[in-house]
Amino acid sequence: MVILITKFKGVGTISNYRPIALANFQFKIVTKVIVDRLAMLTVKILSCQQRRFVKCHHITDNICITSEAFKMLSHKAFGGNLVIKLNVHKAFDTLNWEFLLRMLRAFGFNNVFDG
């Protein structure tokens, strides 16, 4: 959708108008509504390690948690300590979509999320 907005107060000819596209604006509104509605669910289904996607939390929270975890490695724990770093660069390609959809349904999402 394109709307014409006047450039100046005096509107005499079509050259005094400027076209503005509203398509991006509409998508931003729809996206914001979806995000706000899903925000209520994310608090219930995301673990505390996935705080980045919960309102009022930042990725720096997890950096602090990681830093504290590394400090704890100097203390001997039962059975020893272990740190694992996983490279999930191609995780999207190797995702088991059938499992993911079953999990979404188990958390109460309906078939709209099936794509």
Longest CA–CA separation in the chain, Å: 82
The tens-digit pLDDT sequence of the chain (115 residues) is 677 777 777 667 777 778 777 677 777 888 888 878 877 777 777 766 666 656 666 767 777 777 887 787 777 766 566 666 656 565 556 677 788 788 878 877 776 555 5
The token pair at 92 is 């999207």
Q: Tell me the two tokens of residue 79.
A: 């059975």
Tally of domains within the chain: 2
In a domain, 107, yes or no: no
Whether 61 maps to a domain, the answer reads yes
Q: Is residue 97 part of a domain?
A: no
Same domain, 4 and 35: yes
Domain contains 64: yes
Q: So what's the pLDDT on residue 69?
A: 78
pLDDT at 55: 67
CB 8 within 8 A of CB 16: yes
For 42, the token pair is: 């994310």
So what's the pLDDT on residue 48?
66
pLDDT of the residue at 103 = 80
Q: Are 5 and 15 in contact (CB under 8 A)?
A: no
Q: Is residue 115 part of a domain?
A: no
Provide the residue range defining the domain that includes 74: 46-88
* pTM score: 0.33
Residue 105 lies in a domain: no
**Are 59 and 38 found together in one domain?**
no
